[in-house]
Amino acid sequence: MFIRKIGLIGRTYRHIARYSEILGVLFKFGFEDLVISLKVEHYLDLGRQILFFKRKEKIEHYSRAERLRMALEELGPTFIKLGQMLSTRPDLLPPDFLEELAKLQDKVPPFEWEEAKGILEAELGPAWSEIFVDVALEPLAAASIGQVHLARLVEGEEMVAVKIQRPGIRRIVEVDLEILFHLATLMERHLEGWAMHRPTEVVEEFGRTMEREMDYRIEASNIERFAANFLKDQRIYAPKVFREATTERVLTMEYIQGIKADQINRLQTEGFDLKELAVRGADLVLEQILIHGFFHADPHPGNIVVLPGHVVCFLDLGMMGRLDRSTREDLVDLVMAVVRRNESALVEALLKLSVWEEEPDRRALGRELRDFIDIHLDRPLKELELGRLMQELFHLASKYGLGVPSDLLLLLKALTSIEGLGRRLDPDFDMIEKARPFVERVQKERFHPRRLAGDLWEFGKEIAQAIKEMPGELRAVLRLARQGRLKFEFEHLGLDPVVNTLDRTGNRLSFAIVLASLIIGSSLIVLSGIPPKWRDIPMIGLAGYLVAGIMGFWLLISILRGGRM
């Protein structure tokens, strides 16, 4: 796990230079209010140079969302990836921020060939040159995590793309994640309303995502599973992975020569039917989501290559989403509830898809959803953007404490990306219409006799297993009873006020009895005339009266403070 929790005990100076740099960039782009609200100065001695940081450029004419994007770009790879992840979080950010952060792209200069060669030697051994020949010293592409070099395999003379991880990137990400976790902790502590969003959990989830992306063996497995799902489908092509030349920091796969999906003019020149490409791309992504439950989480135009015959190839499969069958069916219920304007069914589907600690007010949520449906469905369905519609829906749900699972957030990103590409290829593209046959297919499979029989069989097996285990469980309970180790725990909810009232009543009653006994005893002593005396009055009786007076006054004060006589 990348994240080690820093700054939670005492002070930390371990990453002081990077911490100062991050806060300086936030000041530079006009987020001094955020930094001051986090009270970072209580944890780091940053000095007054941070508090009075001079902005290096005019940023007043940029919106706050644009300034956030610019700040993340300047802070480097980890923060660019964080911004891309946050662009899928309608439960955390408003739509204008989501739209701006979606523009974030890796703009990182390539590293030198000597460094790349060092990675190859460390991962594949000194004999790496016996695997590749004709290695291109200049990278074909460079990104924040790694860069790609073209080469040929010694065996087979096949052209391959070799992705090599950037030197030192793991250490950079580790440091940034530790600082981000500390900032998230301060957000939960000092920013009103942010504790419910659990920023620390967001950073932890982001850390797990980065850890998966930085292990190229996981990407290799993703490519192979993806290819197996479409093994007999001629519409799609998956590059071949060469496992013998793939490690944690090196990925070797078949080099795909084609046209990027966003090169509209070139596609038209080459004679491709843009409407057909829009339909095919959407069909393939929807099939990944609703049929296979294993989908490309970032199908932006740069990750989609078009091959002859309108064959589509998806690249960069480091980030993949996964949906189990139950979630896919709940997702279909959600879409159908929106289309049919059924707010009660929409509430149920939304609750099934979300994570929450306390169930929200269903009536209030239903009223909000009814307004949501009225606003968005008063126009033709083809004018609706399915991805944006679902983003706004989950943003609304977040107001009621409903969280969105990470894989559903990846789904929103995938739908938004492919829908945007579809509209660029075909202005009349209708994502909801393209989703209709897949929704119907999921619904039919749900009630297929084979499926029902399978569900009944699984239910029967669970019942049989429970019956089989019951005697053993009962013997265990009886064994604990014989040994005197059987314990029952009861928790009474809502009885604390009653118990407290009874405690106070009992205490006051006991106090009053002691007080009365003291007065009676003192009176008997006074009447009996027991010495020593003061002015012919027994002193022990006087002392008893004095104590009784103090106790009586104390009891009266406590009753008056309780508000009841």
Catalytic positions: 298
Q: How far apart are CA 544 and CA 524, in angstroms?
A: 11
Within 356-405, where are the H helices? 362-376, 386-398
Q: For residue 96, what are the contacts with CB-CB under 8 A and spacing of at least 6?
A: 63, 65
Backbone angles phi, psi at 370, to 5 degrees: -65, -45
Residue type, 345: A
List of long-range contacts for 40-44, beta carbons under 8 Å, 24+ apart? 40/183, 40/186, 43/7, 43/11, 43/12, 43/182, 43/186, 44/7, 44/11, 44/12, 44/13, 44/16, 44/19, 44/20
Q: Which residues of 434-473 are buried (b: 16+ CB within 10 A; e: fewer)?
A: bbeebbeebeeeeeeeeeeeeeeeeeeeeeeeeeeeeeee
Q: What is the DSSP letter of 241?
A: B
Which among 228, 254, 225, 250 has a CA at the least distance from the CA of 317? 225
Per the structure block, which two tokens stand in for 420?
A: 């945007």
Which among 496, 499, 547 has a CA at the least distance from the CA of 521? 547
Instruction: For residue 125, give the 3-state DSSP assignment.
Output: coil
Which residues, listed in sequence order, are joined to residue 534 by a DSSP beta bridge? Answer: 537
Q: Is the dihedral of CA 386, 391, 396, 397 positive or negative?
A: positive
Q: Are 187 and 194 in contact (CB under 8 A)?
A: yes
Q: Are 428 and 382 in contact (CB under 8 A)?
A: yes
Q: How far apart are CA 300 and CA 425, in angstroms?
A: 13
Instruction: For residue 295, give the 3-state DSSP assignment.
Output: strand
Q: For residue 208, what are the contacts with CB-CB under 8 A and spacing of at least 6?
A: 1
Instruction: For residue 110, give the 3-state DSSP assignment.
Output: coil
Question: Is the bond into 299 cis (omega within 30 degrees of 0)?
Answer: no
Q: What is the DSSP letter of 215?
A: -
